[in-house]
Every structure is written in C-alpha cells, then in structure tokens.
Amino acid sequence: MAKKYEALAKDIVKLVGGNENIVSMHHCQTRIRFKLKDDNKADTQAITDLDGVSQVLNKGGMYQVVVGMQVAEIYEEVEKLVDLKEDGKSEEGKEKQKAFDVVSDFVSSIFSPIVPALAGAGMVKALLALLTAFNLVDKSSQTYILINMIGDATFAFMPILLGYTTAQKLKCNPILAAVTAGIMCHATWTGLVSAGEPVKFLGLIPLYLVRYTGSVIPIVLVILVQAPVEKWLNKVIPASVRLVFVPMITFIVMGILALSVLGPLGDYVGKIFTAIFTWLSGNVGWLETGLMGGLYSTLVIFGLHHGLAPLGTMQMAQMGYDGIFGPGVLCANIGQGTASLITGLLSKDSKTRQIGTSAGITGLMGTTEPALYGINVPKKYPLIAGAIGAACGGLFAGLTHTHRYATGSSGLPAVVMYIGEGTLKYFYNICIALLITIVITAILTVIFFRKYEKEDKNEEVVEVKGEEFEMPVKGEVLPMSASKDEAFSSEAMGKGAVVEPSEGVVRAPFDGEVLVAFPTGHAIGLKSNNGTELLIHIGIDTVEMNGDGFELKVRQGDKIRKGQELVKFDHKKIEAAGHPTQTMIVVTNTASYESVELKDNKITVK
C-alpha cells in the first residue's frame, strides 16, 4: 500500500534538504515531523506545492509536513530513504532547541509509549465501574478483585514502564533500568515501608521509607542519573568482563541511590505536582478546560499542541485521572468537527460539501486536521464557531470537575473513558459538555454561513459547468489505469488519461490560468475559465532530474490561451535517466463533477 507514495516521499526528503539535513523524524496522525540541521535548506514553497501535501509548518523546533490521514504509509516510504545517525541527533540540532522544546520532547518521549497501557487500564476500570453500577458484579466478590487487579497493574508497576521508556530516550540499557525500577517496587521494600522501622544500609546510609509503586517522578530522576553512570562503567570496565560487572555495579549503586536520595527527592517533587494538579482542578478547573477547549485547535494549526499533551498523561500517571487536558481537547475536537460538518451540509458547492462532511465526521471521531485545513481555516468562520462552542463546553466540564480515567483518541467514542470510581457522574457530565459544544457550534456556524457565504450559488454555477478538451500532449492516449505510477492509476488524485508522448511539447488544452508551475518543469497545474482544474505530470519520478531536460515557458498566475506552449521536454533525457515518459493528465477537482470521461482522445467533464 505504501508503495504508491514512494515518489512523494522522495520529493519530501529531497526538498527538506536531503538525508544529510535530517537530524530526526517521527509522525503523528496527519503530519511528518522533521528536526532539521538547517531549516533554511528546506524549500517550504516547493513542498507545499507537492501533490499530497496540505501544508508546511515550522513551529516548536520541528519542521512539519502535513500530509493527512495517509501519513503512516507516506512515513513508511520516507523511512526507507533516510539513514539517521545512531543517536538521531547532532550538535547543530541540539543548539537549535529551546529549553521548553527539550523538556516537552523528553516528557512526550517517555510517556507516549505507555499511553496504550494507560488507555487499556483505564478502560478496564471503566468496565468495572459499569459492572458495579448496574449491580452485575459484587464488590466483595473474587471477580471484582481480579478485574480490579488487572486494571491496577499498569499503575502499580508504573516505575518499571517509565524506567524502560526513559532509558530508551536516554540511550542506555532499558532492561537494566527496568530492573532498577523493580528494586524500588519489590515486595520486600514495600514490606519494610509498611513496618515503619528505620532502615540503614551498612548501618550508616539511611533509606527513607517511601512507597514507590504507582509513582512517576522518582524513577525518572533515578534513570537520569543511571544513564551517565552506566555509560561511564561501559567505558572503564574491560570488554571481557563488562557483561557481568556493569549490571552488578549499576544495580548496587543505583539501588542504594534510588532508595536513599533520588527516590525520596522524586517523591517530594511528585507530591508538589499532585498538590498543583489538585489545586488547579479544585479552584480554576473551569478556566483550564475552557481555555483548552477554545484555544487547542489554534495550537494544532501551528503544531504547538504536543507541548500540552504531557500534562494529561502526567496527571493520569500521578493521580489516576486527567481533568486538565482530556475534557478540553475532546470539546475542541468535537467543536471543529461539528463546524466542518455543518458547513458541508449547508454548502451548495459540491467540493465544499464533500470535504466538509467527510472531514467533519473524521473530526467527530477525534482527528481534526482534515477539517481544519480543508474547511475551517480557509473559511475562518467555522474555526471561530468551533472554538467558541468548545470553550463553552469546556467551561461546563471544568465547573463540574469532569475528568477521564483513560487516555486515547479524543473523539465521540472517548466518552466511555469518563466512567470510573464506581460512578457514571463524569460520563453524564462530559456528554452534557459535548452537547453544549455541538449546539452552540452548530448555531454559530449557521449564522456565520448565512453572513459569509452569499456568493455560494455563483460558485456552484462555475463548478458544474461542463467542457470538453483535447490532450495537451500529442501521442498515444490510454486510460488512467494504464499509468505505471499507482498514485495515478488508482485515480486517488482524480480521473483523466495517460499519454505516451510522441513529441516533447505541452500545450494549453483550454483558455485559463496557471495555478502551479513547478520550478523543475516536470509538472504544471492549470485551471480553465469554466473551472476545470488540471494537473499535467510529465514522466514518472522526473522531479529527480532537477529540471534537466525541461523548459518551463510560463509562470504561476499567468493567463493562458488554448494551444499556447507551456512546457518543452526532452524524451531522450527522461529515458536516459531511467524514467518512463508517460504523461498523466489529471482532473484534480473530479469530485466537483458528475462524470469525467475519456472518449475519442478527449476528456469530457459534466
């Protein structure tokens, strides 16, 4: 499946400055995030112009290429082209990062891998709450005890999970880190803590009686120290005995340090965080969730939202629930999804209707980037309507101290995460908060639509007007399915035709304008006076030729006349470079028409 994105991946890697300019990379739900050595080497405009790229952002120390829901498949192809250094970093990359970015990246890196465990544990607890709420399981029964144990395991052994992920982030041995965490959670130590009698190592070093099961901060502090200690031991101990003595010394040294200094210090810091979270939830919870609901989607647009995500995960890990991040983000996503959906349903423009409704449904399920970039940001008023509705919903969630017991996607299915502690109160509260968000957003979207979409009917007349045009390139005309590039043959980019060119000239098939003129000359985007949007792509993977063999005769924004020469190209050079010369003629706004047909070597849109 990912193979069809091979050409796009090559273009992205090349235009961000090539393999040598990439320090590290990862992806989220809709975008590939690069950390570059030099942002100035990236050609942002050229990347934005690529078919398949929605937007490019450079925020928070990350160069972000927004590609939509196919991000995992595109990233798979990008990975094949990028050979990162073992540590994934460089000194140049480190210098570019701000303190906030470093902390945010570290916290996200150690908590993100355990999110599935937190989500699963939270859902087990939610199931148990439902079973007890409807008297299906008695709290004194062994069934209740066993299910509760299953749900508690993630939280009880949190230090082991975080020890492992922190070690991965710090590039030290994660198994040794997990064992150190196991020392802190060992039943013997728990028994000594419960006994309450003073404990001293060698009769001299006091070990403070702190219970570490379920803790978060202590193990992170311990591994921050263990990482350099372990690396130093690996350097000074001979390779012949390293396998035995490095782990032994690490366990003894770090075990005592963890129980005497680092663990108690981390416990104290953890108590401070708990006190802060408790105070915020009890005193200004309405403000937090209201602001999160109203502002979160704007942060998503600029790629800054990932700096806030650790707040919810940390509160979940520290206290067993999240009342800051989860409710506000859920309202924000539902608000933007609703705004996009209502805009699509109200619009008479077929393209807006298709994008708005599909992206709106996706937004309601928890992924808002298609709605944001496809409808809400370009039109502006849906973004504002969704933000206001979400702020109102978030305000209600905050006033009622609503919180979730599991983490996961923030869409409508997430409401079950608000079931816990043997009560359905927060489940009902979040449902009311979302109802407030949806109603207010819908009302505002309708009002704004009537005010700002006065020319909707005129747009429809232009969009549905049909026309017929000949191929812009002379040669053998084939159906789109004959393309050797799956991205075209699958018609994912639109319907049209393929031409095996007999001469190296592209001529305008109609009167109109140049929408996009790629600097390399291998592709050009046109729009006719009747509204047809056409992509002419010369050859396959010819972007790699860097313009050699292509002569672009027009610029973006130029008006064109039917028959006018647009591009000249050299078949022999294309073939010599190992690329097929097939030229794809794609109606990129296919969705705006009832039919796009190839007949008698002509394309007809109706």
Q: Tell me the C-alpha distance between 225 and 177, whole Å.
A: 11
> What are 519-576's pLDDT values in tens digits?
778 888 888 888 888 888 888 877 667 678 888 888 878 889 988 999 999 888 888 8
Which residue has tokens 């700002």? Answer: 452
The tokens for 373 are 């970039």
Distance of CA 492 to the CA centre of its chain: 22
Q: Tell me the C-alpha distance between 533 and 510, whole Å.
A: 11
Q: Tell me the C-alpha distance between 376 and 338, whole Å.
A: 10
Question: pLDDT value at position 248?
Answer: 92
Q: Is 522 a catalytic residue?
A: no
Spatial contact of 301 and 295, defined as CB atoms under 8 Å apart = no
Question: pLDDT value at position 313?
Answer: 64
Spatial contact of 254 and 184, defined as CB atoms under 8 Å apart = no
Q: Which of 15-24, 166-175, 372-381 has the lowest mean pLDDT?
A: 372-381
Q: Does the pLDDT value for residue 90 go beyond 60?
A: no
Half-sphere exposure of 306 (CA within 13 A, CB side): 25
Q: What mean pLDDT is predicted for residues 478-496?
A: 78
Q: Does the pLDDT value for residue 148 go beyond 80?
A: yes
180 confidence band (pLDDT: 50, 70, 90): very high
Catalytic residue (choose from 27, 306, 403, 537): 537
Spatial contact of 20 and 553, defined as CB atoms under 8 Å apart = no
Catalytic residue (choose from 27, 28, 522, 579): 28
Per the confidence metrics, is the pTM higher than 0.75? no
Q: Which residue has the higher pLDDT, 378 or 278?
A: 378
Spatial contact of 347 and 7, defined as CB atoms under 8 Å apart = no
Q: Which residue has the higher pLDDT, 491 or 443?
A: 443
Top-tier CATH class for 2-97: alpha beta
Q: Does the pLDDT value for residue 373 go beyond 60?
A: yes
Q: What mean pLDDT is predicted for residues 107-113?
A: 74
Question: pLDDT value at position 487?
Answer: 63
Q: Tell me the C-alpha distance between 37 and 94, whole Å.
A: 9
Spatial contact of 580 and 488, defined as CB atoms under 8 Å apart = no
212 confidence band (pLDDT: 50, 70, 90): confident
35 confidence band (pLDDT: 50, 70, 90): confident
Q: Does the pLDDT value for residue 119 go beyond 50?
A: yes
Question: pLDDT value at position 229?
Answer: 93
The tokens for 197 are 């009698």
> What are 245-272's pLDDT values in tens digits?
999 999 999 999 999 989 889 888 877 8
Task: Determine what percent of the chain is predicted with pLDDT higher than 70.
Answer: 85
91 confidence band (pLDDT: 50, 70, 90): very low
455 confidence band (pLDDT: 50, 70, 90): very low
Question: pLDDT value at position 136?
Answer: 85
Whose CA is closest to 162, among 229, 102, 226, 99? 226
Question: pLDDT value at position 413?
Answer: 80
Q: Is 392 a catalytic residue?
A: no
Question: pLDDT value at position 85?
Answer: 55
Architecture of domain 465-605: Distorted Sandwich (2.70)
Spatial contact of 491 and 385, defined as CB atoms under 8 Å apart = no
Task: Annotate 162-224 with three-state secondary structure.
Answer: HHHHHHHHHCCCHHHHHHHHHHHHCHHHHHHHHHCCCEEECCCEEECCCCCCCCCHHHHHHHH
Question: pLDDT value at position 28?
Answer: 64
Question: pLDDT value at position 458?
Answer: 42
> What are 564-578's pLDDT values in tens digits?
999 999 888 888 878
Q: Which residue has the higher pLDDT, 368 or 524?
A: 524
Whose CA is closest to 328, among 349, 351, 303, 308? 308
Whole-number Cα distances in Å, 158 to 91, 214, 331, 355 = 33, 5, 29, 42
Whole-number Cα distances in Å, 507 to 400, 409, 526, 571 = 65, 48, 11, 16
> What are 311-357's pLDDT values in tens digits?
666 666 666 777 777 788 888 889 988 998 998 888 887 767 877 88
Domain locations along the chain:
2-97, 157-281, 284-459, 465-605
